[in-house]
Structure 1
Amino acid sequence: MSLEIRWIEDLIALETEGTISKAAELRCVSQSSFTRRIQHLEDLLGFNVINRDSKYVNFTEAGRILLRTSKSIKSQLDDTLHLLNEQQQEQQGSIKIAISHSLIAQFLPKFISSLPSSMQGIHYEISSVNLWEGLKKLMQGACHFLICYGDADLIQTLNPQILAHIKLSEIQVIPVSVKDGNQAKYDIHQPFPLLAYGPETFLKGFVDHKLKHLKYKKLYEADNAQDLRELVMQGLGIAWLPSSIVEKELKAGSLVSFDSTYSFNNHIYILKHKMNDPDNVNYFWEQLLQSRSHDLNM
């Protein structure tokens, strides 16, 4: 049998409202009609979805499994409809790029300037996000591309039938501190104040791995590497930052990095939703693929 969309919405309404009468009102049908629809669904399934010995809705174990599946289907359908609606309203010539906060100032200008000349005059709309916000925007069609940090594990979690990706660059993330005289203000081998990434950030897990055998006290927490950089420059502690955003400070000697044992490499990817394919977006992607292929063959 096929599960109709109206049944999915009926089940979700039941959970949301808690009673059949309120669920029927939400679904704009009479209580008796709504009850018949649930009974018809149960007859087709061959098992009960709800227990009827309670005043309030109480799903059976099978009903709870069906409800979870229904929510997943509804979420995917809503995302798809939102994506199609955004696509219909899309203005030709405008490319929407969501990008991780710390990649805007240093990486994005270099990336845009490295594109073929035919892509230099395009109108780009840029929004800064963390990884999970960016993925949500990408899935909902609120942006055409997401530029973000990533690794092989992240890429493996992406559905290749939905999202395409290109690796743009490799980065090194290093622990840094301001100088105090001729040496670092803080010693990474002694207890130190940590300027940490927030729980929603992609880099947090990698930094936590490097912190396992170090002694520290978390002083500040931020989602943006640029914000952590500002705190480092004020001499408030040690932070792990992409080397690209502290390159000038390291050369000038205002910052110092620690032993490479505590550094790690990561990658920068650009992601695209395969269903979000206006002509200008496809052109951008094809040109990017060709330019990256040319770079690899040089």
Structure 2
Amino acid sequence: MSETSSLQKALDAVSLVALRGELTVREIGEALGLPRSTAHRLVGSLVKVRLLEPHRAPDGDVYAVGKLIEELNAGQLSWRSLLQQARAPMEALRDQTGETVGLHVLYAERRVLLAQEISQHPHRWVYDNLMVPMPLHGGAAAKMLLALLPDADMERLAARDYRPNASSGALADFVGRLRDIRQSDVSVTADEVNPGVASIAVPVIRDTRYGHPLAVLSLAAPSIRLNAEAIDKLQPMMRRTAQQIAQASAASARGVAIPRRLAAGASA
């Protein structure tokens, strides 16, 4: 089966389940004219990438459309709302600190940089992956997003995105560091993804009940400026900004008027 044909079969399988509702592997295979072994492999692959998800039934597993479809469909709407509330506070934090500020979300189990406010320093850090899905293993923002997840999801995605050939011990150490980040509510890295660059990340959206994705705020700068003393000074400012964005986003989602000081990004 060619790559194009395989992709078409995968799309057909997802479309079939979306149209008919919950189906067994046998039903999917029969409808698409696939041998049983091929149908099992296809459904297994679709489950791994969250396009389908299994449900228990009295006579065996049935499969429904996965959560990824819903996330992809809702992404733009939730992003626009979140960005609307985040722009002014992010600009204010950039002006207050002089460093590049970023807003990152968890989208389709990847980190996505939604927006950044760029430092005016001649020697600065600027993200070059705006709106590009990225793995979740490296950098302060990715680790903070991972740490916000329930244990089972955190461990599963850490195993997926951490160094491919890492030993079980190295992976366990990495998960342990994520739990430390969860406990401290801040992620700090230096020279990890890009030499000479350090970053801090704190949570913005940790509760997705209002339709917004998990989100974190980052601040990135050359390591020579973002030293231990600077990090201690910057954390309270970042937390205040993150709280402003979270409160304004929640109020907007509930249809509540946003206080002028929050909408304007005034610091507490």
Q: Does the alignment reach a TM-score above 0.5?
A: no
TM-score by length of 1: 0.27
Higher helix content, 1 or 2: 2
Taking CA–CA contacts closer than 8 Å with sequence separation of 6 or more, which of the two structures ends up with the larger relative contact order? 1
Computing the radius of gyration over CA atoms, which structure comes out larger, 1 or 2? 1
TM-score by length of 2: 0.29
